[in-house]
């Protein structure tokens, strides 16, 4: 894998979940509160994780 592709793959995997898990939990009525907390937590953690990986990857 080329260096640029590798860096893009790592950064893409560090991205937060987005709203898809929440929308699915609402649609199927499955642990909506838990899923919403997980999505918010993942988004907040991404604020720190993405810059960390950007520094580590150069």
- Walking along the chain (58 residues) 10 residues at a time, the average pLDDT comes out as 90 91 96 96 95 94
Q: Which structural domain, as residue segments, surrounds residue 29?
A: 3-57
> In whole angstroms, what is the distance from residue 49 CA to residue 28 CA?
30
Domains: count for the chain? 1
Do 36 and 22 contact (CB within 8 A), yes or no? Answer: yes
Alpha-carbon Rg for the chain, nearest whole angstrom, is: 14
């Amino acid at each position: 894998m080329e260096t640029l592709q590798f860096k893009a793959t790592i950064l893409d995997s560090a991205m937060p979940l987005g709203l898809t898990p929440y929308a699915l939990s609402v649609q199927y009525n499955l642990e909506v509160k838990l899923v919403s907390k997980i999505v918010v937590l993942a988004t907040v953690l991404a604020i720190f994780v993405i810059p960390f990986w950007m520094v580590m990857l150069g």
